[in-house]
Amino acid sequence: MQNIYLGIILAPLMGALIAGLFGRKIGRSGAHWITIIGVATAFLLSLIVLRHHVLSGAAPYNGSIYTWMIVEGIRLEVGFLVDNLTAIMMATVTFVSLMVHIYTIGYMHDDDGYQRFFSYIALFTFAMLMLVMSNNFLQLFFGWEAVGLVSYLLIGFWYKRESAIFANMKAFLVNRVGDFGFLLGIAAVLMAFNSLDYADVFAAAPLMASMTVQIIPGADWSLMTVTCILLFIGAMGKSAQVPLHVWLPDSMEGPTPISALIHAATMVTAGIFMVARMSPLFELSPTALSVVLVIGSITALFMGFLGIVQNDIKRVIAYSTLSQLGYMTVALGVSAYSAAIFHLMTHAFFKALLFLGAGSVIIAMHHEQDIRKMGGLWKYMPITWVTFLLGTLALIGTPGFAGFYSKDSIIEAVHASQIPGAGFAYFAVMLGVFVTSLYSFRLYFLVFHGKERMDHHTQEHLHETPAVVTVPLILLAIPSVVIGAMTIEPLLFGEVFKGVIMVTPEHNVLEHLAEHFHGAMNFALHGLTGLPFILVLAGFGSAWYLYMARPDVPERIRQLAAPVYDILDNKYYFDQFYQRFFARGSCETGTVLWKYVDAGLIDGLLVNGTARWVGWVAAVTRHLQSGYLYHYAFAMIIGLLILLTWFVTR
């Protein structure tokens, strides 16, 4: 199997290198074929791995592939840990990536950077696979930074746009904050365990549960709590949790395929995967779990509110992604790691579908993204219309759809939890159901139904997008409908994650849920009578009334609640705060340091001051060098007299 694991990693890497280095020679078709073949190979091999580990129950593989160096007994290696969690992530990542690669042929057809784009997305696939397959913290960090690097390149892909450059720099800087915490967390692991290998760290973790450290002299802090919170700060950056969420909406400046690949299905879920992988550590710190729970709850609810006031089709879906990532984080906080991974998987399919559906609309609308200039598209784009509806129904948690099973499992798990903060979390995720339904159907109605608000020229040329765009939509719509019912029992209540994810008995909320689970069908039927479905219907009804029956009402509400609207429209003023106190504050601090320390002290006093002093001394002493012989003789006589006087008087 080791050769298969290597094949999964190397196939997309080879495609990326060939398309990137030899793109001009192999041409546009060569670039997309070589990368698609590479990712398709990785996907097919991932299915073999999925069958071998998940379906056949093979033991996990944990082995070193390459030893980079050994420093004082600490091994720095490249290695693979392939178990059921890894296998599910590999299959999800490679399938969504394959769909995005195929879709990109149509979306980027006329772009000058065609080969470069395919190289980047194949390279991203390689980096994400390195992250999820790692068996040590060093390789995890490599994959972590690599996906961040490729994300930076893709967000700023259209580098001639000032907004794209601003967005990718913003993503880079915000993620550096999270990654600094993540790196400190890895350093804490190395300090405490003297190893970076997962197996060694997880085995020794229970022995370290009571260990304390003094960050502030005289105050004892739990080592496990400090380590887990630092690691979670990294997850807050990658998985866009409040307050490190501000980069993700702006990342929509990149081409739509990367919104589906990176900012919906894969990179932003890296933090969720990491915390689930680190469950043996997080389970030993209830404080860290409460922090995770509260941060996730705030993100799930308050980012959903922002989706209601957005008018850019991609930004509405981006805020939906933030909210759903909050749901996954909430699941991690109540130790329902399996539910978090379950929602990660289902979300990857229907959110990629929604982003690619939005891209299909953008193509048809000649790259118009304002939903206020759309309407009535169902007549012109039937495939996009139907698949987008299926993705929307999955997102809001309609009973029977994939999103229902994973989202309702999280809500029930939170309801059963006793971890501090669970009460607020339950309120947040429950109200979030209504909010999700409201902004999702607001988007759906404004884009596909109602009055046609586009200009006459656009209306005349509206038609369904080519098959290279719509086929991936159909292939993503299928799992968006059925994957939840097919996998809920083995993933949540079976033994798929036994020995992979660790949950202490007092935190095992899914065990309580399992007592009331009687199959996927009964779960869906029960959902029809539950409060979440009532909230789904309330959101649907509100959206229909506000944007179909009475489209004049939203403007009245906006005027009546102008202060609230301004807060939402300005995204809670996070950007202004960061710009004023961090970005501008850093610039002002730099200006002061440059003026008084660099220019004043270092350059002025030390560097230029020394030069000026040497110049003054030279200016004085050069008068002694007159060139006249009698001047030098006179100086020698005076010097001799001084020496004789010193010897005589001594």
Question: Using one digit for the tens of pLDDT, what is the confidence trace for 70-88?
Answer: 888 888 889 999 999 999 9
| 293 vs 423: CA distance, rounded Å | 10
Residue 343 has what pLDDT? 95
Supply 619's token pair: 């200016």
Q: What is the pLDDT of residues 301-359, one digit of tens each?
A: 999 999 999 999 999 999 999 999 999 999 999 999 999 999 999 999 999 999 999 99
In this structure, are residues 263 and 191 in contact, taking their beta carbons and an 8 Å threshold? no
Q: What is the pLDDT of residues 249-288, one digit of tens each?
A: 888 888 888 888 876 667 888 999 999 999 999 999 999 9
| 362 vs 323: CA distance, rounded Å | 23
Q: What is the pLDDT of residues 19-69, one digit of tens each?
A: 999 989 999 999 999 999 999 999 999 999 999 999 888 899 999 988 888
CA atoms within 13 A on the CB side of 399: 17
SS3 of 509, please? helix
In this structure, are residues 39 and 97 in contact, taking their beta carbons and an 8 Å threshold? yes
In this structure, are residues 336 and 296 in contact, taking their beta carbons and an 8 Å threshold? no
212 beta partners? 222
Residue 216 has what pLDDT? 79
Asked if the peptide bond before residue 243 counts as cis, ω within 30 degrees of 0, the response is yes
pTM: 0.90
Average pLDDT (580-594) is: 75
Q: Between the CA of residue 494 and those of 279, 332, 417, 497, 514, what are the distances in Å? A: 18, 18, 20, 8, 9
Q: Domain extents for the chain? A: 1-550, 585-649
Q: Comparing 245 with 584, which gets the higher pLDDT?
A: 245
In this structure, are residues 390 and 469 in contact, taking their beta carbons and an 8 Å threshold? no
| 19 vs 34: CA distance, rounded Å | 7
Phi-psi region of 197 (alpha: psi -120 to 50; beta: other; left: phi over 0): beta
Of the pLDDT bands very low, low, confident and very high (cuts 50, 70, 90), residue 95 is: very high
| 604 vs 496: CA distance, rounded Å | 67
The H-or-E segment that residue 7 falls in is helix 2-21
**Is the Cα torsion angle 533, 534, 538, 544 positive or negative in sign?**
positive
Residue 264 has what pLDDT? 65
CA-based nearest residue to 49, from 79, 9, 12, 18: 9
Q: Between the CA of residue 579 and those of 246, 299, 322, 498, 519, what are the distances in Å? A: 11, 21, 21, 46, 51
Residue with tokens 């020794």: 204
